[in-house]
Amino acid sequence: MSRERRRTRPSVVLPVVPEGPEVPAPPPPPPTTKRKRAAEPRPFLLDFFPVETEAGTRLARFFDRLREGRLSTTRCARDDLLLWPPRTACPRCHTEELEWVDLPDRGRLYAFSAVLVGAPLGMEKDVPFSVGLVDLEGAPLRLFGRIEGRPWNELEIGAAVRVESYETDDGRVYYRFRATE
């Protein structure tokens, strides 16, 4: 606080609150009547799943393809560059003319682990769950994802997995991997 302001304000003596735990209980809240409200949209900011429809993303096609069971992504034909995640502009030549390609539905585990504690909000019920990096067979891509079908201590590096799509509780679609051997 500047000296000038301190001078212009008269000092006031306010009652000192004694130290100690005794704080009087607040008065009970006034009675309320429950009112019916329209359904609220689900909380958005602690939800990991992406926006999937054309109303919110230019990559809706990814999710439309996924709903048909196909994992796809964008590719820059000019740079011969396969891009992940799917995008709207090439990071090399910056063209916005990208093409959609389907990705292989098989792969092998490059690395894996599991979440045994400390899951994010909304995933607590999934614990323990396995996750891993998968080298897709026939495409230069190593994707991260949930690994279903085997507990973590029965997985091995190099194990075969296949891509599958699944529906979330609220009807959105996402992809994951399933161990096949």
Partner 1 sequence: MSGRAVALVGGATTKFGVRASTWSELAQEVGAALFRAVPELEAKEVDSLFVGAAMPERFAFQSHVAPLVAEQMGIRPTRVLQRTELACASGQSAIRSAYAAIAAGLSDVAVAVGVEKMNLPSMAEANAAMACVLDRAWDGPAGLTAPPYFAMVAQRHMLEFGTTEEQLAAVSEKNHRFANSNPNAHFYEKTYPRDKLLRLPLVSPPLRLGDCAAMTDGAAAVVLVSEELAHRYPGPKAWIRGSGQYSDFHNLANAGSLTEWPGMKRAATEALEMARIGVRDLDFAELHDCFSISEIVEYEALGLCGRGEGGRFAADGRGDIGGDVVVNPRGGLLGCGHPLGATGIAQAVEVYEQFAGKVPSARQVPSPEWALVHNLSGSANVHSVMVYHRGRAA
101 binds partner 1 (CB under 8 A): no
CA distance 67 to 164: 10
How many residues of this chain bind partner 1 (CB under 8 A)?
A: 37
Stretch that binds partner 1, among 20-28, 29-37, 48-56, 92-100 (CB under 8 A): 48-56
55 binds partner 1 (CB under 8 A): no
146 binds partner 1 (CB under 8 A): yes
137 binds partner 1 (CB under 8 A): no
Instruction: Give the residue with the Cβ less far from partner 1, 113 or 180.
Output: 113
DSSP reduced 3-state for 100: strand
DSSP 3-67: HHHHHHSPP---PPPPSSS--PPPPPPPP------PPPPPPSTT--SPP-STTT-TTHHHHHHHH
Cα-Cα-Cα-Cα torsion 115, 120, 121, 127, nearest 10 degrees, comes to: 0
- Rounded to a whole number of angstroms, the minimum distance from the CB of residue 126 to partner 1 is 7
164 binds partner 1 (CB under 8 A): no
- Contacts to partner 1 by CB under 8 A: 46, 48-50, 84-85, 110-124, 126, 129, 131-133, 141-146, 152-153, 157, 174, 176
